[in-house]
């Protein structure tokens, strides 16, 4: 019985580990999506340069970026991107596909 319990705990632990890895991947994917958007789009009025600072590493920091709405304010999972009226120029970036939490 003890071995079955230990095996069950090990399997449960793997599930939690996999979930943590997936969440970390989703967060990094969303951050990389926004980094590539900033790099690819021309921002003649400097809105993204003023607001989008990737040096902050606190969870949810991208949720404070201009034009970014997250699922939860302390979780770096992008729900919506609203960049109209910012004077941005350039082709629609394919890298937006890396924002895996977009609706």
Cα separation, 41 vs 12, whole angstroms: 44
Quote the number of domains for the chain: 1
Is residue 16 in some structural domain?
yes
Is residue 85 in some structural domain?
yes
pLDDT for the residue numbered 97: 87
pLDDT for the residue numbered 5: 44
pLDDT for the residue numbered 78: 93
pLDDT for the residue numbered 26: 59
Is residue 54 in some structural domain?
yes
HSE, side-chain direction, 13 A CA sphere, residue 41: 25
Is residue 57 in some structural domain?
yes
Is residue 52 in some structural domain?
yes
pLDDT for the residue numbered 89: 95
Ranges of residues in the chain with a pLDDT under 70 are 1-26
Distances (CA, A) of 18 to 24, 25, 53: 10, 10, 29
Buried b (16+ CB within 10 A) or exposed e, 76-85: bbbbebeeee
Q: State the pTM of this model.
A: 0.72
Is residue 103 in some structural domain?
no
Q: Which domain holds residue 37?
A: 2-98
Is residue 59 in some structural domain?
yes
């Amino acid at each position: 019985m003890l071995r079955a319990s230990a095996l069950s705990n090990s399997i449960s632990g793997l599930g939690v580990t996999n979930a943590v890895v997936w969440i970390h991947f989703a967060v990094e994917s969303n951050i990389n999506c926004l980094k590539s958007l900033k790099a690819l789009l021309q921002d003649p009025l400097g809105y993204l340069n003023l607001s989008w600072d990737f040096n902050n590493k606190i969870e949810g920091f991208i949720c404070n970026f201009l034009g970014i709405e997250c699922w939860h304010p302390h979780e770096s999972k992008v729900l919506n991107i609203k960049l109209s009226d910012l004077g941005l120029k350039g082709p629609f970036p394919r890298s937006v596909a890396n924002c895996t939490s977009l609706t």
